[in-house]
Amino acid sequence: MLDKLRTHVKGWLGMAVLIMISIPFALFGLQNYTSGGSEAPVAEVAGYKIYQADVNNAYQRRMAQLKKQYADQYSPDMFNEEAIRLESLNRLVQDRLVLHTVENDGYIASEKAILDVVSTIDAFQKDGRFDKESYTQLLQARGMTTNDFVQQVRVGLERDQFINAIVNTTLVDDSEIEDFYRLNNQTRDIRYISLSIESVIKDMTVTDADVTKNYAENEHLYKTPEQASIDYVELNLNDLMADVKPSEDELLAFYDSERQSFTALGHRRASHILFEAADGTTEVNAEKKRKQAEDVLARINNGEDFAKMAEQFSDDIGSSNSGGDLGIITDGMMAPVFEKTLSALEAGGVSEVVQTSYGFHIIKLTELEADKIQPYAVVKDKVAKLLKTTTASETFYQLAERFAELGFENPDGLEALVEELGLSIKQQNNVTKNVAEGVAASDKVRHAVFSEDVLAGNNSDAIEVGPEHLVILRIKEHKQESVMPLADVRGAVELAVKSDKAGRFLKEKTTALMAKINSGESINSLTEATDVTLTDVGPVTRNEKSVPDVLLRDAFSMLHPTDGKPSFKESVLSNGDAVIIELKKITDGDKTDITDASRESFKKFLARLKGEVTLAASLANLSVDADVVFANKPE
């Protein structure tokens, strides 16, 4: 068995803040045992060692981000695992480079800056304000001290100082903005002739020799994946909730102690007048907007109608026509400073001038309805659910560490978990690296199944497969990747042979057609053949959705037409159809169409892009100074 130590995993500011909002258990509730000791690091930055377990954790976080980003469109085969793992390792190295530089160059986060971050984290809020008791209890429940957390915030702020000093100070001039607009809004006038692979593939002949040769050369295409059957136990909040059966007296007592949780929030209806001066507006222009806002506020305070002032002066076209009315404002809808100002107003009250990232606001609270505690009879089901969740959650965190310890201390089986914690052993068959089903829907589970330690016959570490849901597994049966018999895949092999022959046949035809074009024949004359289809697409942009991606990419890589003659290029679509693209005309975006708002948006985008390139170059230089050493690629 590999030597393993279990240590807390702690991240930098961005991770810390996200963690405190979503409270994933792996980072705060459970000691995560990470390989060390005799294990060689996969990279080293200025003496700081990065191990395979660190890469695994970073990979899992990255995959979780991608799943969330792509949602229903996500599938395991969208991304190359090795590439994502290498990216995760590079990110870890870059983070360490930044932290090493921050430590050496003396970046300092002020106490006020740290306090501002901590006091605005939602998880520490109660009734819209920072609550010290919630802060202390939450950190204690997750196994952290306040010093630990404050240090994470401090490091994160200092890290951001370094990054922002590079990224946010990059300059972009007007010529760069205009070049970007010209190219980004360029259109290309195209049409193409196509030869359908479907029309010829059925005529392709296949011999036994063809099949045997293709099968031998492409065995990797005809393999059954490595797979395993597993036993596992799970500690799950939902299961624990099912065991909580509170009495009526317990429900009433909980209702009385948690009345705030059963309060129907009132509402605030607001109007505003916006004087637009978004982030990035020059100081001179911003000051003009502020002065305009103060002048309008003075008129309102002297008795002029707020709604009429909004209609006349507000830059918010969505609300100005309705007197500035924003409707009902709920928590999180507006910028924090906006909501804080609104919450301090009485019904009918008008604020002073307030600045947000959008500009300067004058805010009016037009309607206020107070909060109301709901009767017990109305919220009884909600009381029961919240009490069950609270009780089960406490039990979960009490058992979680013991759950991990038992799995670690008894690596040869799951029986100790069953006997002491009253859990049951479950099974899942045919688990593979890429098929997300059952408990193996979690990529963390799939990675653990095929890890060296688990394949050697040991229990896995405790795996967080979801919020307050842990799993420990072991292998029951393991099958290596194997090539399927030819008899089982003959149909697929024959289709592959036919597709290959059809592709080569179409390539010969398009080459012959290109020769005719080059000799002076028009593309129209080529369509007289029955197997050639002409599609006139017309002008397309780089983001055109109605055109095949391959066609669009090739069209925008073609040479410009010269001497009034179009350019041509052969290509193959993703379905195998062979095409010849004709590029007749290129029209650049007109810089006179750039609005002031667009110019400012482009400027921010390009500055950020250039800043990130500069940051990458800085990190490359830092990697030399910090003596970065890579071992083998991550597993």
**Interval 369-411: pLDDT, tens:** 777 888 989 889 999 998 998 899 999 999 999 999 999 999 9
448 pLDDT exceeds 60?
Answer: yes
Q: What pLDDT digit, counting tens, does each position of 324-364 carry?
A: 988 877 665 677 898 899 989 999 999 999 998 889 999 99
231 pLDDT exceeds 90?
Answer: yes
- Across the chain, what does the average pLDDT equal? 85
Other CB atoms within a 10 A radius of the CB of residue 333 amount to 12
38 pLDDT exceeds 70?
Answer: no
Other CB atoms within a 10 A radius of the CB of residue 108 amount to 10
Question: CB pairs under 8 A, 24+ apart, for 98-101?
Answer: 98/159, 98/162, 98/163, 98/619, 98/622, 99/12, 99/155, 99/159, 100/45, 100/46, 100/48, 100/622, 100/626, 101/162, 101/622, 101/626
pLDDT at 7: 25
Higher-confidence residue of 105 and 420: namely: 420
500 pLDDT exceeds 90?
Answer: yes
Q: Which fold has domain 266-370?
A: Chitinase A; domain 3 (3.10.50)
317 pLDDT exceeds 90?
Answer: no
Q: What pLDDT digit, counting tens, does each position of 562-605 carry?
A: 988 999 999 999 999 999 999 999 999 999 999 988 899 999 89
| Cα four-point dihedral sign 179, 181, 182, 187 | positive
Higher-confidence residue of 625 and 205: namely: 205
16 pLDDT exceeds 60?
Answer: no
Helix (H, G, I), strand (E, B) or coil at 509: helix
**What is the arithmetic mean of pLDDT over 183-202?**
94
pLDDT at 402: 94
pLDDT at 10: 26
**What is the arithmetic mean of pLDDT over 471-478?**
96
Residue percentage of the chain with pLDDT more than 90:
47
Q: Which amino acid is at 454?
A: V
pLDDT at 321: 85
Residue percentage of the chain with pLDDT more than 70:
91
- 22: tokens are 């979503």
Domain boundaries, the chain: 1-31, 174-183+593-630, 187-219+489-587, 227-247+381-483, 266-370
**What is the arithmetic mean of pLDDT over 136-164?**
81
pLDDT at 168: 82
How many angstroms separate the CA atoms of 536 and 582, rounded?
9
Please give the sequence-ordered ranges of beta strands (E in DSSP) within 152-296, or none if there are none. Answer: 187-195, 223-224, 227-236, 263-264, 267-276
How many angstroms separate the CA atoms of 123 and 458, rounded?
38
**What is the arithmetic mean of pLDDT over 11-28?**
29
Q: What pLDDT digit, counting tens, does each position of 99-143 carry?
A: 888 888 878 776 667 777 887 888 888 777 777 777 777 877 667
